[in-house]
Amino acid sequence: MKLAFITRSVRRRITWVFGLFVALSMVTVASTVGFRLHSAITTNLTHELEERARQDSRLLQQRFEYLLESANVLVRNPLVVNGLNDAQGRETYLPDLIKNFREGRDVFAVALLGYDGKPVYSTLETLPTYGDSSELRSTLANGVVSYLIDRSRGHWVVFVPVTYYSTTQGVLVVVYDLGAVARRVLPADPLLGHHLLVGDRTLFARPAADASDLLIARQAVSDNSRSFLDGLGLQLEVSAPRQHYLEPAVRAISDVALLGLVLTLVAIAIAYWIGFSISRPIVLLRERVAAADGSPERHCAPLGTHDELEELAEMFDQRTHELRDIQLHLEDLVDLRTRELAVAKETAEEASRFKSSFLANMSHEIRTPMNAIVGLTHLIRRSAVDSRQIEQLDKISQAARHLLGIINDILDFSKIEAGKLTIESADFELDRVFRNLNDLICDRAAEKGLEVINRIDPAIPVMLHGDQMHLGQILVNFASNAVKFTDAGCVIFRARLLEEGAGTVTVRFEVSDTGIGLNEEQRNRLFQAFVQADASTTRKFGGTGLGLAISKRLVELMGGRVGVDSELGKGSTFWFELPLQRATSAPVPRGHMRLDGNLHVLVVDDNADARTALEDMLNAFSARVATADCGEHAVSLAREALLGGSPFNLILMDWAMPGMDGIETSRRIQALGCDARIILATAYSSEWTAEQLHTMGIQAQLSKPVTPSMLHDAIVEVFSGVAPAKPIGPAAIDLSPLRGRYILLAEDNPVNQEVALALLEETGLRVDLASDGREALQKASSTAYDLVLMDVQMPHMDGLEATRALRQLPQCQSLPILAMTANAFDEDRRACLEAGMNDHVAKPVDPDNLFATLIHWMPPRPQVPAGSEGEREDAALVAGQEQALREQLAGIDGVDLAFGLSLVRGKFATYRRLLVMFVNTHQDESARIRAALDAGDLDGAQRAAHSLKGSAASLGLGRIQQAAFAVEAPLKARGEDAVAVAQEALAGLEQELSRVLEKLRPLL
């Protein structure tokens, strides 16, 4: 029967529930009565059996006492005593006496033994002997009665002493049959069973008629006082069949069950009638409720019951009418709200479109002048020689990059808010990420005198798989804030392995500083968009307040978490934990030399974090490491190591230490006779040339902050003399494929036109200019160009429409068209590609990126006939003159032509023009320095020497650079003899500058 059959009908539910209740009640009563009867009968029967066992045990006790007393009476008979000594009497009267004794006493056998234990008279087959019966010995020796139970035969053996004049003359041995005794004494009852036991041996058994389900009571055969029965160990067991006594109870329970069944059927019938009378109006109400819709035609009342159901039906009709009215009203409201929501949705979408359009226009309008600033700065920087001008141009570029970073922050935040930011994954080298971070941060940190320290956990795999670009963006953001808010101390970059799985690792990145710190309120407001620590921070330090919010969103998009630990006035630690994959590709090999496992290294640095970082890296190389926090300590450790016979093989020496600096410390350690290789670690490594380091006894220099790969390469280099192969960096782009090619530039902004034309013509391209999309379409349709650079936002016809029109022309279907626009959104890039463009170059233009993109899309150069013989001769003449000048310049001592050309991308004409500017600008530089020294203007003299040093370094004039540095260094240190040392070095600078300029003037 399915449950739904019962639950879906009130009548059936009442019938079955009431019937089941009565049935369960009767079953409960019958079970309870049966259990109580069973328990009571069992208990009473047990008590009766125990009492019967005690009664039967007393009967056995009385019989045993009688038999023992009979034996004692027999012993006192004179005929027994005479029988010990009278052999003739033993044969005549003793047998009759024994025969009379055995009658009615269940005696199995009788024996009369002399004082020596030998039989005088016996009916026993096997007599106890003096040697094997302790009871016999006890009776003869002590004159006491002894007993034993023969378990194998079921006999009770009694040893009674025969005494004459208080002297034991012999022993009367009486053997009783215990089974016969029990049969005689215990009453026979077919319902009861008797068992006489000694230990686990049954001496007598009379089983009950029914041996199934027996109740058993056991009683010891004893009179509860110390007597001869205690030592026998006899027990009487009485049993009775339980079922015989339970039969009346079973019959009574059956009668109760039958009565319960009858009552249950009657109850079901009554319940059915009650259920029908109750369910009829309910069923009627259900049918009317199902049909009711609140109208006057369809209602529930009346039911005709005149009870609570009638009231329920009337109340339901009332509520139904009210709900119908509310429904009609709600339909009107829903229709109104739907129209309002449609209007609100359209307004929100329009606002979103306006926001996107505003951001795109703002980005375009800012990037357009930014393109001019960056482009023109690049062009001026390319031809600048004066170091001060170069420094100023670099600051302009830096400011432009900062402004571009703000724009990118706004665009990134907009993408994240819109859910359009994509997380990409690729294999990358963590060491490279930290080196890029150092390149971006260290210059700003050096300007504030901050030391930057790297601490990379050696347990982290060399290669990882994840989003390298966004990882670097987060680290740069945290590091920029650390440098911004720190005036003294250091900034520490950490990477620590938290968890490691089969194919994944969890890495914790930290950026710690010793800056202003944060209080609890400021920490709680961090990582919110457009929020900084407080209003004064915004005024003092600047910034949009978007960096931390973007970083938090990026970390969460990559499946990590971010936080900050900080205390006001003691610095901050910004951290984030990222799950990363193990890389599928092998790490880039960095050389095959392995470090000696017995390498003994001394690390000297006054900064505890820097010492610990270097120590951890060296421990990962299996080196033995000692550390010193100052120059004096380092000299002491070096002396102790020499005396101990375990000198240091390598010393990592910090340069800028209070008291004794790294150079002086190195000199004193060498004076001890220590031949350890010394690597100078400093944030100002560019101040010394290789020759100067060699003069100071230092084998190499290492720029801080140090990464494991940098440290490994430096150690390998100083011990092998060969620099390990380094990862290939961005090489100078070969622009020869662009020379002579003809391209069209479509650009409406005059400043952008000037910048683009200068950049493109620098490569040897022939450039045609169009001021809008319509003019570009006209020119491209009538002229064969190799490539088109197309701006997007232009008057009359924009770049997208012009591109679509060009693609309709047969001759332009395969023409490379590149967007060069300030529209930098991803949707802008997609729009360009969908319009038919091949690629997208964002403004402000990165020259290297622009040139690489042009070379990638430039079609192969067509085969053209060779020029005339005269043209070939002119070209050969020009090439020969240039080669001759190259050889002459390379032959001048102090001119590193190859190094100088590498700084101008190998363009010899540019290098020659810069040499001319150098000769014209600095020919009187030594005189200006001397005049400043004579006038006491040490700052002016230092600036002039620094400018000359920078200009010479940018052209490969190494000797002039070194001589200028020799003048600048004492002026920068401002020692007591700074002027005298500078004037002494100035003489060498005058001689070297005059010599090189005299050789350059005739050639240029």
Rg (the chain; Cα; Å)? 59
d(CA 697, CA 684): 18
**% of the chain beyond a pLDDT of 90:** 9
Closest-CA residue to 405 (of 413, 442, 511): 413
> What are the helix (H) ranges across 542-606?
547-557
pLDDT per residue as tens digits for the range 701-727? 888 888 888 888 888 888 876 655 544
Pair of tokens at residue 616: 């951890």
Instruction: Confirm if 260 and 27 have CB atoms less than 8 A apart.
Output: yes
Stronger pLDDT, 640 or 731, i.e. the higher one: 640
Query: Residue 164 pairs with which residues in a beta bridge?
Result: 167
Following CA atoms 277, 280, 282, 286 in sequence, which dihedral angle do they give, to the nearest 10 degrees? 170
pLDDT per residue as tens digits for the range 902-958? 766 677 777 777 788 788 888 888 898 999 988 888 888 888 887 788 778 778 888
- Pairing type for strands 561-567 and 504-513 reads unpaired
d(CA 526, CA 517): 12
- Pairing type for strands 571-582 and 504-513 reads antiparallel
- In the Cβ-directed half-sphere of 277, how many Cα atoms lie within 13 Å? 6
Residue with tokens 């890389």: 583
Instruction: Confirm if 294 and 320 have CB atoms less than 8 A apart.
Output: yes
Instruction: Confirm if 293 and 320 have CB atoms less than 8 A apart.
Output: yes
pLDDT per residue as tens digits for the range 383-393? 555 555 666 66
pLDDT per residue as tens digits for the range 21-75? 777 887 887 788 778 877 887 888 788 888 888 888 888 888 888 888 888 888 8
Average pLDDT over residues 401-418: 63
Where are the extended beta strands (E) located within 514-560?
none
Query: Residue 448 pairs with which residues in a beta bridge?
Result: none
In the chain, the amino acid numbered 620 is A
Instruction: Confirm if 321 and 294 have CB atoms less than 8 A apart.
Output: yes
- Report whether pLDDT(249) > 90: no
CA 483 to chain centre: 30
pTM: 0.47
Measured CA to CA in angstroms, residue 295 lies from 283, 290, 318 at distances of 21, 13, 11
Pair of tokens at residue 477: 């953001």
Note the pLDDT of residue 748. 86
- Report whether pLDDT(858) > 60: yes
Average pLDDT over residues 608-633: 88
d(CA 453, CA 510): 12
Note the pLDDT of residue 866. 47
Closest-CA residue to 150 (of 218, 219, 203): 203
Q: What is the DSSP string of 20-78?
A: HHHHHHHHHHHHHHHHHHHHHHHHHHHHHHHHHHHHHHHHHHHHHHHHHHHHHHHHTSH
Beta-carbon contacts of 151 under 8 Å, excluding residues fewer than 6 positions away, are: 198, 199, 201, 203
pLDDT per residue as tens digits for the range 502-514? 889 999 999 999 8
Beta-carbon contacts of 158 under 8 Å, excluding residues fewer than 6 positions away, are: 67, 68, 71, 145, 146, 147, 173, 174, 175, 176
Q: What is the DSSP string of 239-294?
A: EEEHHHHHHHHHHHHHHHHHHHHHHHHHHHHHHHHHHHHHHHHHHHHHHHHHH--S
pLDDT per residue as tens digits for the range 866-889? 444 444 444 455 556 777 788 888
Instruction: Confirm if 302 and 50 have CB atoms less than 8 A apart.
Output: no
Query: Residue 743 pairs with which residues in a beta bridge?
Result: 767, 787
Measured CA to CA in angstroms, residue 699 lies from 633, 720, 970, 994 at distances of 21, 11, 23, 32
In the chain, the amino acid numbered 90 is R
Burial of 324 per CB tally in 10 Å (0-12, 13-18, 19+): middle
Question: Residue 808: how many CB atoms within 10 A of its CB?
Answer: 10
Closest-CA residue to 680 (of 653, 659, 707, 658): 653
Note the pLDDT of residue 728. 41
CA 494 to chain centre: 18
d(CA 86, CA 99): 19
d(CA 158, CA 859): 136
Weakest-pLDDT range from 250-259, 363-372, 427-436, 494-503: 363-372
Burial of 503 per CB tally in 10 Å (0-12, 13-18, 19+): exposed
Average pLDDT, the chain: 79
**% of the chain beyond a pLDDT of 70:** 78
The band of 493, judged by pLDDT with boundaries at 50, 70 and 90, is very high
